[in-house]
Amino acid sequence: MATNSSTKTIKIDIVSDTVCPWCYIGKNRLEKAISAFKSKPENKDVRFDVNWYPYQLDPSASKTPIPKMTMYANKFGPARAPLIRDRMIKVGQEEGINFSYNGNIVNTLDSHRLIEFATSHGKQDEMVTELFRNYFEEDKCGEIPTLIDSAVKVGLDRKEVEDFLKSNQGVKETQAKIEKAKLQGVQGVPNITIANKYVLSGAQEPATFEEVFSRVV
């Protein structure tokens, strides 16, 4: 028997890194797709269960901040780095994201730990959005003081977050989830699985997401 759309929940699992520009773009496009899909009368009661999972593009990155463009130059070469930056700025503008490359970058493990903490307090989406905005648009680095301020901004308790981040809580669990993603074959992010069946790699266009939603329903 077919499931009535009024009782349908579409589960979406996203493997992402907090310093991946395409992950931020992917989030925006996914949200546009969900909004457009639910705007159709036949889909208005469809619910979405979105879950974010950690990944590190560079697990060996230092906990000491370095300039973003230095990292890009080291990774892609001094000639390519500005070209990549300019392309991302252009794509971001089309998505309503004001990418900036004036800030620093730091190891992302603590930012993923914070997302795990926020998830346990019902603030996952807000935390993911805030961290993306911090890093990509506000030139804020993912150091502990910045992460604490970001958590407070989305409604989490400062003392609880501070105690959590300054401890080793969640380190092994977060690392285990990152390793699990790699063992499952994830080599790049965003990696998006819809309804445990459809796997999309990269920041797909909203129409692609909508097409998959229609198949699921």
Domains of the chain: 7-216 (3.40.30.10)
Structure tokens at 184: 């499952």
Task: Tell me if 103 sits within 8 A of 139, measured CB to CB.
Answer: yes
Residue 7 confidence (pLDDT): 67
Reference 131, options 16, 18, 17, 14; nearest CA is: 18
Using DSSP, state whether 65 is helix, strand or coil: coil
Q: Which long-range contacts (CB under 8 A, 24 or more apart) does 2-7 make?
A: 5/42, 5/43, 5/45, 5/46, 5/217, 6/45, 7/45
Q: What is the pLDDT of residues 26-62, one digit of tens each?
A: 999 999 999 999 999 999 999 999 999 999 999 999 9
Q: Within the chain, which residues score under 50 in pLDDT?
A: 1-5
Residue 130 confidence (pLDDT): 98
